[in-house]
Amino acid sequence: MAISDYIHTFGQYLFARHGERIHKIALDAGFTCPNRDGAKGIGGCTFCNNNSFNPNGSEPQTLEAQFDSGRRAIAKRTRAKKFIAYFQAYTNTYADVAELDALYRQALKQHDIVGLSVGTRPDCVSGEVLDLLAGYREEGLIVWLELGLQSAFDETLRRVNRGHGLKEYREVAAAARQRGISLCTHLILGLPGECGSHYHASLDTVLDIGVDGLKLHPLHVVKHTVLANQWRRGEYRPLQREEYILHACDLIERTPEHIMFHRVTGTAPKDILLAPEWCSQKWNVLNGIEHELARRGTRQGRLAQGPLIKTSDSHATFDGKTRIAVGGKSMAECPVLIQNPVEEEILYAT
Ligand code: SF4
């Protein structure tokens, strides 16, 4: 069995739809972020280190050079001949629409690029940008908008200095899907003050608004961030690997089968990763998720539309208990931190 026997993956979807493997090539097009330059905020999200996107800290290469190295790296693992240009680093809609069009078309003119995936913040996507993306779709190209929501709780978003709330996400998500643009939403597990109940509520909110794809990530503590200082002072405790696996599996079970998972974990470069150490081992986490889904005898969608459940309520801590609300509804207080992960969970997850 493979993880794709339990999860509807984006790769599977592309293969079924296009009859061949299609991979993403991640790009840094030299954007910045309005949450860093003062337009929306200063300092950025508390967990964000510029170098997470570009570990060498140097100016990004030309798009052509990035495509070449992306193709070479992917060729070592697969025989994929077609690719999606994934504008990943920073806020990839943070420019004038004409500039964006020129940039995106520069990528699309590559002979083997069959579409675009554009990662951005919910408060930085105008109607004109959505019209631009919808136009590419009408040309027959694959087009995805990737929105970093991270949490549906405004209090959490404020706590990590995100600079936007759920409202902006709700508006852009609806407007994108009205235009037929496929939407992939990013959620982080382990944000300060959150626990399993929050992850479930965030997922339920995203599903309720409407979404086509999801990315799940554990929160990384990386160097030169506010979060790193909070972690050093003992104010933040990252999720342990086994906790992450349990929470991710809970969310996968609650997600309807037709929604594609673009990712169920994420990694950070070793040279800037402070904690948790397991975040540097993507395959170890993926194997753990696969084993846990097999152990439960479950798969994606088995608990879709079920009642709110709290199966894995150990959580990242921040300033003790929190009481926060989503969509105007009050949520229960986080349960008390579980000091030691349940042994059984470690045994079956490894
Ligand atoms: S929105 Fe993205 S790029 Fe901007 S500060 Fe937050 S994590 Fe960093």
Where in the sequence is the domain holding 93, given as residue range(s)?
A: 3-349
34 SS3 class: coil
Q: What is the four-CA torsion angle of 330, 195, 298, 343, rounded to 10 degrees?
A: -140
Closest ligand 1 atom number to CA of residue 36 = 5
User: Which residue's CA lies nearest to atom 8 of ligand 1?
Assistant: 48
Judge contact between 241 and 285, C-beta under 8 A. Answer: yes
Q: What is the DSSP string of 193-215?
A: T--HHHHHHHHHHHHHH--SEEE
Q: What is the pLDDT of residue 298?
A: 97
Query: Which atom of ligand 1 is least distant from the CA of 162?
Result: 6
State the total domains in the chain.
1
Q: How many Å apart are CA 346 and CA 350, to the nearest integer?
A: 6
pTM over 0.75: yes
Element (H, E) at 114: strand 113-120
What pLDDT shows up at residue 269?
86
Q: Where does residue 163 fall: left (phi above 0), alpha (psi -120 to 50 degrees), or beta otherwise?
A: left
CA distances from 223 to 7, 50, 272, 275 (A): 33, 10, 5, 9
The response to whether residue 35 sits with its C-beta less than 6 Å from ligand 1 reads: yes
Report the separation in Å between the CA atom of 230 and the middle of ligand 1, taken as the mean of its atom positions.
Answer: 18
Q: For the CA atoms of 206, 210, 215, 220, what is the dihedral angle to 10 degrees? A: -20
Both tokens of residue 310?
């709290």
Q: CA-CA distance, 4 to 11, in Å (whole number)?
A: 9
Which residues lie across from 115 on neighbouring strands?
Answer: 84, 142
Q: What own/partner pairs with CB < 8 Å and gap ≥ 24 does 97-105 have?
A: 97/126, 97/128, 97/129, 97/132, 100/129, 100/132, 101/132, 103/29, 104/132, 104/136
Model pLDDT, residue 79: 87
CATH number for 56: 3.20.20
Cβ of residue 48 lying under 6 Å from some atom of ligand 1: yes
263: DSSP letter: E
Residue of the nearest CA to atom 4 in ligand 1? 33
Q: What is the mean pLDDT of each run of 10 residues along the chain (350 residues)?
A: 94 94 95 93 89 60 95 91 96 97 98 98 98 98 98 98 97 98 98 98 98 97 97 98 98 97 93 95 95 97 68 40 38 31 22
Q: Rounded to the nearest 5°, which phi and psi values hold at 182?
A: -70, 135
**Exposure string for 34-46, b = 16+ CB within 10 A, e = fewer:** bbbeeebbeebbb
**How many whole angstroms from 80 Cα to the centroid of ligand 1?**
31
Backbone angles phi, psi at 162, to 5 degrees: -70, -35
Ligand 1 mutation pick, 28, 32, 33, max ligand atoms within 8 A of CB: 33
Q: Mutation test of ligand 1: which of 36, 125, 226 has the most ligand atoms closer than 8 Å to its C-beta?
A: 36
- Give, using CA atoms, the residue closest to atom 5 of ligand 1: 44
33 lines ligand 1 (CB under 6 A): yes
Measured between its terminal Cα atoms, the distance across the chain in Å is 16
